[in-house]
Amino acid sequence: MSVNLVGKHFLKLLDYTPEEITYLIDLAADLKDKKKKGILVDQLRGKNIALIFEKTSTRTRCAFEVAAHDLGMGTTYLDPTGSQIGKKESIADTARILGGMFEGIEYRGFEQTIVDELAKYAGVPVWNGLTNEFHPTQMLADLLTIREKLGSLKGKKLTYMGDARYNMGNSWMVTCAKMGMHFTACAPKAYFPNAELVAECDAIAAQTGATITLTEDVMAGTKAADVIYTDVWVSMGEPDEVWATRIKELLPYQVNSKVMKNAAESAIFMHCLPAFHDLKTKIGKEVYEKFGLAELEVTDEVFESAQSVVFEEGENRMHTIKAVMAATLGYK
Ligand code: CP
Ligand code: NVA
């Protein structure tokens, strides 16, 4: 069956079939190949997209802008403070205004219900650039990276360490269920994804051959894993006060050389980034001064090791976001 995603929103991978996800990764690989060869893909000339960022970003914003320009499109960036959104103008009104001027809208911000509301009223494709609950464009980049590095997706074991109940942990559980991969959340119980989403993913997994495991045991959870994945312990929008508890509860789930040695010999380390692995950031330094820890969710040794694919993963954000826009806006 041929896949047609023209006009479809990209809000979370739960809305996409495994075939559609594979189609997007294949398209991204093709667009990446064309980019490397210098082949222009500017077929979407004349179109414009709006980029709403209620939270900060390096990768996602740059990926959307570069990808849009490569496709021939214009971009308008609305920063976390510079628009009326949510303060003087409702999401529904904003959606109808932007939908009248732009062919597509990216949204990064808080609750998933906000991006759902934008999609309901915009009349043009809306793409989720990260919410509290999900980060679906990150998933496509990561799947492309895993395929490039390990050759295939089905049957691969991915262990997610740390805060598994937020956007990245949720997204990985959904993605593994869809793609027939083995997902393990390795975290204290309080950081497991919520039971309702686990049940939904279990039902999908039963169809695809995936498995979902939740464990507090680091050695059992990381044993023979093909991919060790982690993310920051305090996400954007969360208060600084939670650092003390997070460090206390999540430090045992830090990705270090012991974890990597316990994983498969060919295992790769992944992180959506930004990462706290040294003292070269403002927050990293503040945490060090307060808690005496120089490395947080991942040690510098692992981050800089040959097993770490984080920078290729970062580049793939652009190719995969390009694929999402191309597919939903009718690139041929
Ligand atoms: N991984 C990711 O979304 O990075 P940014 O916050 O820099 O966009
Ligand atoms: N969990 C992180 C992901 C950043 C890409 C956050 O929401 O801040």
- Segments of the chain scoring below 50 in pLDDT: none
- Which tokens is 223 given? 């044993």
Match 């945490």 to its residue by tokens. Answer: 287
- Residue 308's pLDDT is 99
From CA 320, how far away is CA 322, in angstroms rounded? 5
> From the alpha carbon of 166, which atom of ligand 2 is closest?
1
Q: Give, using CA atoms, the residue closest to atom 2 of ligand 2.
A: 235
Q: Are 119 and 10 in contact (CB under 8 A)?
A: no
Ligand 1 mean position, distance from CA 56 (Å): 8
Supply φ then ψ for residue 228, to 5 degrees.
-105, 125
Q: What is the pLDDT of residue 1?
A: 63
Give the pLDDT score at 87. Answer: 85
Q: What is the DSSP letter of 246?
A: H
Paired with 158 in beta bridges are 183, 227
pLDDT in tens, 194-216: 999 999 999 999 999 999 999 99
Q: What is the pLDDT of residue 19?
A: 98
Residue 108 annotated to the active site? yes
CA 273 to ligand 1 center in whole angstroms: 6
